Structure 1
Amino acid sequence: MQRPDRRGCIPGTLKEGGRRGCRSGGRPERGAAGVAGRSGRADDRGMPDEPRRSLAERAFEQSPVPWMLCDATGRLLRINAKMSELGGMSDSGLTDEDLRGRLPSELPLPHIDRSVLEESERLIREVAATGEPITLETYAPRPGESRTGAWAVSYTPVRDADGRLDAVAVSAVEFSEQFAARRRQALLDAAGARIGTSLDVSRTAQDLADVVVPGFADFVSVDLLDGVFRGEEPAAGPPAGDVRLRRAAQAGVGPHLAGLDTGVVGVGLRGSYPPGSPPARCLATGRAGVHTMTDADVVAWLAGDPARSAWAAEHGLASLMTVPVTARETTLGVVVFSRLNDPANHRTRRTGRTVRHDPAAPTSEPFHEDDVPLAEEIVGRAAVWLDNARRYTRERATALTLQHSLLQQRAPRQAAVDVASRYLPASAQAGVGGDWFDVIPLSGTRVALVVGDVTGHGLHASATMGRLRTAVRTLADVDLPPDELLSHLDDLVISLNTENAEAEAEAEAHPDEVDASGGDEASSTDGGSAEIGATCLYAVYDPIARRCVLARAGHPEPALRTPDGRVEYLDVPAGPPLGLGGLAFESAEFELPPGSLLALFTDGLVESRFRDPDQGLAALSDQLAAAGPDPDLAAVCDDVLGALTTLRPRDDVALLLARTRALGADQVADWSVPFDPTFVAEARGLAARQLAHWGLPELTFVTELVVSELVTNAIRYGRPPVRLRLIRDTALICEVSDASGTAPHLRRARSFEEGGRGLMLVAQCSTRWGTRHSPQGKTIWAEQALPTGSPAPGTASAAPA
């Protein structure tokens, strides 16, 4: 059975007035009076086009979203009230007819930057050409407020029923809260990534300035207390009188503000701030402050500083914010953020269908109190790194001072070699290392040449270097052979490592007993208590025998340039680095003609991240070969460092050059002594005649006494063969050798003893004396200073034996 059609068209009255027909559908109902009727809903599908357009126009006009319609060329078709309000032309009195046909850049929209309007024109034409929507993110004042908001402007194609483009709809939605959060996070991410990559105070301060410009301020300056640059601890309490700060860094938008000398105070220079000025007040109170140009303290400050007032007027300073640089309850300085009236420049970036049109400054509006937390967080992060850099500067200065005091400042007087040396510390980023060199005069006119390298950097490495250098000098005074000396030095390093391990274990077992400040004060780049490792090269040159004995512990081989210009690296057995233990060291002996050039160096000279070590060794060979037959050693050192090192090396560099000399036959007298006590008198006579031949009669009495005692001891307590040698150099040296390994002992004889006073007399009559051992036995030697005005060596021939 077919159901009857219950739909129809009924007349109706619209709310706004007027009548129209509506389609109706419903069910039969009976009213209270029993009259049959039909109830149901009415829709507007039968609404004529004209009333429908009127409804859409009212919705467009009354929409809380700013809207406007443009044709394909970008000319205006319609604009709603909210868009007019956003652009600032609500009170212009212009009608739609007045505005229709104008380009966006021709509209009187004072609140919207002209560059944004010109960018809009370009995007409208792009949407009309491609038919694809585009979103522009830009900035404009909020309606009814002076503060700037972030807006997402959508450009959407409008098509007719056949799909042809009729217009481009432009709508704007504010997303200021999302933008503020995004900007805050972006600044914090940038601060975390860029600040703290260096332990240099100025570099860290510049990183801070670069992070906040242009995303947060138009110009920023970082001023620190002068002592911060030297690593000093700032004085407690607020400063009295004018505050003097040094400009550590600054940055600004645009070329007119980006230079280092664009501020009133140039980078690296000191500026003075009176007590009432915002920077001085910030430093004294430790609190941030926001200031406008009409604040009384700003007006008074600029009135008393014509140069700063002129700078503010020239660049249109609108407001400033001062934030203290505070870390570990210590104020190091102050950061001044500035915003200008006209940040001027814009830049456009595009990602897919989204275009970001960013001003060079975030806004042209003054700072507000809600900007302070973000500034304090960024400066607070930078303050910790600045304080770390300050502490590192102090530690580096201490390490350099310690190292400077421990390194040999001037070569000692000796006749065996001509020497020149250079030490180049590592860059501040790497820290001071533990490289060292030494020239140690030995008995018999011999000389010891030492170069060493302690692993690691920092104060700990410098202190370890000092301990090892002292140990080497002590062992050298004992006149140990090079291989035996390195064995004793190896034992010392093992002992130091054991002490460090025990101290570290004790600290871990009782952490409460460790000074809470010790970790910060003792921090160093190599970890402080890290295991000690070191390398060393020890060489002894004898200018009489013209021979050199060398041993090395994990150290690079020395280079030798012979008088004929050939350069080679001496084949010295490669011993293990110091501190390993259990392995023997071996020495090698070479004959060096007079005028040979010996180069001892640390690995920092030839090793670099820019080249292979073999290339560094080849470059060193080339520099030594080019030095010439009789070069100035200081100039050679400079040439070598200039060719092989950078201005900021990653590792310390130590270089020691030694040109060998030889004592002539006229400076040495040598006799074989019969193993007979009666020869002692003849030995005294030989010595006296030789001194007369050298023109040193003033030393005859003491020399005869020394010869008598030493020869008598050798015959009485030693073993043959016995030899007597006199050396006339910068001092007169008397040596007596025998085949016994028993060393004499100095003692004070009692009053009733007839003997035991010989060595005491030798010690009293000599400037210094000692014993050295060799595989052939021992040698006892004594030195006497030459009288003033003594003839120079080589003016007479040696007397016959």
Structure 2
Amino acid sequence: MNRWGETPYEAHLPPETVLNQMEMAVIVCDRFSNVIYGNAFAQELFGFGGDEFVGHSALSLAIAEEDHEQAAELARHVLKGGVWEGTFCNLRADGSTVYTRAHAVPLRHPSGAVDGIVIFAREALRSNQREQDRYGLLERIGERLAGSLELETTLRRVATTLVPQFADHCFIDVFSGDRLIRRVSQHAGGWTPPPGTWAEVGDPVSYPPGHFSAKAMSRRDAVLVEDMLRHRFEAPSEQSRRLGDAMGITSVISAPLLVRGELLGVMSLALSSLSARPDPHYDGFDRDLLGAIAGRVAIAIDNSLLFEEERETALAFQKHLLPGDLPPKLDGLQIAWRYEPARPLESHGHGIQTQVGGDWYDVIPLSAGRVGVVIGDVEGRGARAAAVMGQLRAALRAFAQDDKPPADILRKLDEWVRTMTRPERMRSGWNSDDLVRPPLVSCTYFVYDAWSRVLEFANAGHDPPLIITDGQVGDLTFESEGAMLGVRGPGVGGEILFNEESTELKPGSTLVLYTDGLIDRRPRDDGEYHSREEARERVRQAVAAVARRDVETIANAAYEAVPGDINDDVAIVVIRTAGDELAVQERTFPAEPIMVSEARRLAADAFAAWGMHDEQAELACLLVSEVVTNVVLHAATTPAPRRELVLDGGGIAPAPFGGGAFDEDDWDLGVDLAGQLGRREPPAKEFRLRLRRGADAIWVEVFDTDMRLPRIRSAGETDEGGRGLYLVDQLASRWGARPTADGKAVWFELPLHS
């Protein structure tokens, strides 16, 4: 009850009764833009009787054809959770035109999911029909210009809005350098000019001095030709004049495209007596209206040209930061890749994403024929994201040459990313809030050994790749997703861990690596939207359909799997392992001088079996001897570890003079304590020689348990040694040393000459 003791009867009315009393149209659509409800005012506004439009597309509300694209964009935007407001031109059931101001919001399920669209609409103008046309046109032109920064899209939208509502023919010519180029030639009814008459899109245009378009550009003001019969002689060519006569051109307005005092081009509209217009002539009000429209179009063109210049610069910048051509031939691997920058995101006042992103990929040759593969994505867009991407790629390439495990590489890369945070002094001083947050980066780094087929990897918050084995598609499982690089900012404690993982790939296995732009797509005109998991499933299905075909086909199938325009950069790398075993010889030797000749003999036999020429084989054997000799000599001079004495019962005997474990130099008792107590002798030192043959090179690796990495030193004239690694450095195409889990590996590479 209210304060007067009365019970408001409205509280008991059903929602439909309340909505039918509103002086505003209320239309509810499902996810497919089909109308499921319209109140009484909606039926009155659009001129429909009963509920005949229920169950049909929202386009059945007689939205004018030129507004269909805008209606589709409205649906896509609202179904993503946004709101939209703008003006539509509607054709009522009786054939009259009404302009409606619409406000659209998402219809949400109690769970929060978007189930449909609710549109509130009212009549935009209450005046005579021609004034509605004029004012509604100006408002809708502004909305279309605000929705795009691509020049072709901008001009096409303007032309389709003007034709056929305000003109039968529309021409927009824009200067490119000192030449005037036709950019738009739009005509009512889909008609196109015959070749050789009116200039086509892309053709240069030249107007004679007396032509109305030339006058508009020289006067810097719109020019109206109310009756074209008196100006037929001003046509640019005889063919143009004849076609104008045949088309019954009656009236023309031409307006210059001016911005900041600079002439960008000219825009012309024409009416024809062949149209069904009651009065196919323009007047002074129309001239002023087109002048206002041309001013807006000129600003939009200028913005589009600046945007395209900026975008081309960013694309060129990014293109030069990404690898131009990946290594053409890698032993045991086939590789294909794709990269596509994002297109600008067109929006109705909700921001326009105009820049390239920071996706990157790389394939890095490592020691002994192994290969590093990385794919990643830098948060954000524009030049900063591209610059960070370029620095990341260069840093990772440098870190990778250390031949450390992938987890160690990601730890170093994470530390490097976090150093990009810097304090920026503000005018009033600075505090911790003024610190620029480091960019967030997701990436996965893989190291593949084609001879052992072992894939080592570590992940930093990136989507797992697909793996194809025996024609079946699955996910390469990460035990840990890992944190994104740069997560730990200033003042944030805790250590970021990147787990080292490995798996053995079967012969012929295929990995499909990608960035999230592949599965985050903008819906196209059909309005269909896919969640990330739905999109990922579509990629799986597309890849499965071509799983046994070549890597290029798989890359194309993955890229085309999800419909829609790319909303973010897309990078795809497809790698396939060899189906055959690669040539390798491996043996472990005691670290004794006599084993140098044995190692050389093994190498000579392997090189002969691989068909190496005598001169090549002799050089390779010489370098094998030098590296093995170096390992044996250092193994003999390595300080022996302290040896423990073990009691019969397994306990450790105490040191007699309060020292630590037993050391035989601590004792001078004249008794064989080692014999009595049982000394645990250290095992004999060993080294392992591994020889690999690739298509264009051989690799030699020598493994031992000494942690010390070799280095070249300058040998004196009388020194007997110190020249082995110098020879390797001079004669091998590459050489190096890398730490292993239990020591080190010294390696060198020699090219194979046919």
- Shared topology, TM-score over 0.5? yes
**C-alpha distance in 2 between matches for 1:210 and 1:265:** 19
Q: Quote the Cα distance in structure 2 between the aligned partners of 1:447 and 1:662.
A: 17
Aligned positions of 1:468-483 closer than 5 A: 468-483=392-407
1:536 is displaced (CA, Å) by 0.7
Look up the match of 1:638.
556
Q: Contact 2:358/2:388 (CA < 8 Å) preserved in 1?
A: yes
Counterpart in 1 of 2:569?
A: 652
2:536 counterpart of 1:617 = yes
Which residue type is aligned with residue 602 of structure 1? T
- Which residue, out of 753, 769, 773, partners 2:735? 769
* 2:419 alignment partner, SS class: helix
Residue equivalent to 1:247: 183
Preserved contact between residue 265 and residue 271 of structure 1 (Cα < 8 Å)? no
The reply to whether residue 583 of structure 1 matches residue 501 of structure 2 is no
The SS at the match of 1:544 is: coil
Q: Quote the residue 1:549 is aligned against.
A: 456
Q: Which residue of 1 aligns with 2:596?
A: 680
**1:326-380 deviation line (CA, Å, top 9, x unaligned):** 23444322101224457523xxxxxxxxxxxxx6xxx544443x65443232222
Judged with a 3 Å threshold, the aligned counterparts in structure 2 of structure 1 residues 251 and 342 are, in CA distance, closer, same or farther, namely closer
Over 3 Å counting, the alpha-carbon distance change for 1:187 and 1:619 in structure 2 is closer
1:201 match: 151
**Residue 420 of structure 1 pairs with residue 336 of structure 2:** yes
Q: Name the residue aligned to 1:494.
A: 418
Question: Residue 223 of structure 2 corresponds to which residue in structure 1?
Answer: 289
Long gaps (5+) in structure 1: 1-135, 139-174, 228-234, 346-358, 511-528, 789-801
Q: Secondary structure at the match of 2:455?
A: strand
Q: Is the 8 A contact 1:541 1:549 kept in 2?
A: yes
Quote how far apart the aligned CAs of 1:585 are. Answer: 0.8
Preserved contact between residue 223 and residue 245 of structure 1 (Cα < 8 Å): yes
Cα distance in 1 for partners of 2:615, 2:144 equals 74
Amino acid at match of 2:630: N
Q: Secondary structure at the match of 2:467?
A: strand
Q: Deviations for 1:192-220, whole angstroms, at most 9, x for unmatched residues? A: 22222012212211222344445654432
Deviations 1:728-783 (A, max 9, x none): 11301111112233222345556676644332221110111122222222111110
Task: Please say if residues 319 and 367 of structure 1, whose CA atoms lie closer than 8 Å, have aligned partners that are also in contact.
Answer: no
Once the two structures are superposed, the pairs formed by residues 373-522 of structure 1 within 5 Å of their partners are 373-405=288-320, 406-429=322-345, 430=353, 431-496=355-420, 498-499=421-422, 502=424
Report the Cα offset of residue 290 of structure 1.
3.2
Aligned residue for 1:36? none
Partner of 2:23: none
Alpha-carbon distance, 1:548 to partner: 0.9
Structure 1 residues 262, 330: CA separation in 2 closer, same or farther (over 3 Å shift)? farther
Contact map agreement 1:275 1:281 (CA 8 A) in 2 = no
Q: What are the within-5 Å matches in structure 2 for residues 101-500 of structure 1? A: 185-213=135-163, 216-225=166-175, 227=176, 235=177, 239=178, 243-252=179-188, 255=189, 258-259=190-191, 265=198, 268-276=201-209, 277-283=211-217, 286-291=220-225, 298-302=231-235, 305-340=237-272, 344-345=276-277, 364-368=280-284, 371-405=286-320, 406-429=322-345, 430=353, 431-496=355-420, 498-499=421-422
Letter of the 1:762 partner, please give it: V
Structure 1 residue 587, shift from structure 2 partner? 2.1
Q: Secondary structure at the match of 2:629?
A: helix
User: Residues 698 and 787 of structure 1 are in contact (CA less than 8 Å); yes or no, is this contact kept in structure 2?
Assistant: no
Match of 1:779 in 2: 745
- Which secondary structure state, in structure 1, belongs to the residue aligned with residue 317 of structure 2? helix
Map of 2:668 onto structure 1? none
Q: 1:592 to 1:305 in 2, by over 3 A?
A: same
Q: What's 2:698 paired with?
A: 732
Letter in 1 for 2:335: V
Say which is worse superposed, 321-330 or 759-768, in terms of deviation.
Answer: 321-330
1:479 is displaced (CA, Å) by 1.4
The counterpart of 1:563, out of the listed 446, 451, 470, is: 470
Residue 311 to residue 572, structure 1, CA distance change in 2 (3 Å)? farther
Shift of the 208–644 alpha-carbon distance from structure 1 to 2, 3 Å rule, reads: closer
Q: Which amino acid aligns with 2:145?
A: I
Contact map agreement 2:374 2:446 (CA 8 A) in 1: yes
Given that 2:228 and 2:252 are in contact with CA atoms closer than 8 Å, whether structure 1 keeps it comes out as no
In the TM superposition, what is the alpha-carbon distance from 1:474 to its structure 2 partner?
2.0
Distance in 2, Cα, partners of 1:567 & 1:480: 28
Report if the CA contact (8 A) 1:560-1:570 is conserved: no
Q: Is the contact between residue 573 and residue 588 of structure 1 (CA under 8 Å) also seen in structure 2?
A: no
Q: CA RMSD in A?
A: 3.5
Output the amino acid matched with 1:727: R
The amino acid across from 1:606 in the alignment is I
Q: CA deviation at 1:426?
A: 2.3
Q: Distance in 2 between matches of 1:508 and 1:532?
A: 25
Q: How many residues align?
A: 555
CA distance, structure 1, for counterparts of residue 395 and residue 328 of structure 2: 18
Alignment of 1:693-708 (within 5 A): 693-696=609-612, 697-708=614-625
Provide the C-alpha distance between the structure 1 equivalents of 2:223 and 2:465, rounded to a whole number of angstroms: 63
Contact 2:417–2:438 (CA under 8 A) maintained in structure 1 = no
Distance in 1, Cα, partners of 2:509 & 2:375:
18
Contact between 1:743 and 1:771, CA under 8 Å: does it hold in 2? yes
Q: TM-score, normalised by structure 2?
A: 0.66
Q: Distance in 1 between matches of 2:283 and 2:716?
A: 92
- Report the TM-score when normalising by structure 1: 0.63
